[in-house]
Amino acid sequence: MAEGSGIFAERRLHLRAGIEDREVLVQFGPVVKKDDAASCRYRLTGFDEPISVEIWGLDEVQAVQLAMTSAGSELDRLAPDAKYRIAGNFNGETGHGLPSFNVRHAAP
């Protein structure tokens, strides 16, 4: 994490999709309070293009919760049939470990 960047947490993941294996970095922060609301940014790198999204909530806690859930949902969307493993987690478990919205797309 870059000092002074406002990033307060990050997670390194290994993504296995078919024969492809890549590292994905998930970063959270900064959290910014403005008037009666707050925002939290998350950034995903390791895909074709970096993804940076600012999520707003009623306060700092909700902004962080929503950013974590949105990042987890985006990871699910970007690689729905792939397997994630948290870097350093050698017990064989898979998954990115972030909450996500359980959204199922209905057939047209």
Given a contact cutoff of 8 angstroms between Cβ atoms, the answer to whether 28 and 39 are in contact is: no
Choice between 58 and 4, residue whose per-residue pLDDT is larger: 58
- Whether 90 shows a pLDDT value over 80: the answer reads no
* Per-residue pLDDT at 82: 80
Q: What is the mean pLDDT of the chain?
A: 89
* Per-residue pLDDT at 45: 97
* Choice among 7-16, 51-60, 91-100 with the minimum mean pLDDT: 91-100
CA dist., res. 22 & res. 39, Å (int): 29
Q: Which two tokens stand for residue 93?
A: 């478990």
CA dist., res. 54 & res. 63, Å (int): 9
Let me know the angle formed at the C-alpha of 85 by 79 and 86, rounded to the nearest 5 degrees.
120
* Per-residue pLDDT at 11: 95
Choice between 56 and 101, residue whose per-residue pLDDT is larger: 56
Q: Which amino acid is at 75?
A: L
Percentage of the chain exceeding pLDDT 70: 88
Given a contact cutoff of 8 angstroms between Cβ atoms, the answer to whether 5 and 29 are in contact is: yes
- Supply the pTM of this predicted model: 0.85
What does DSSP assign to residue 63?
Answer: H
- Whether 3 shows a pLDDT value over 70: the answer reads no
* Per-residue pLDDT at 94: 82
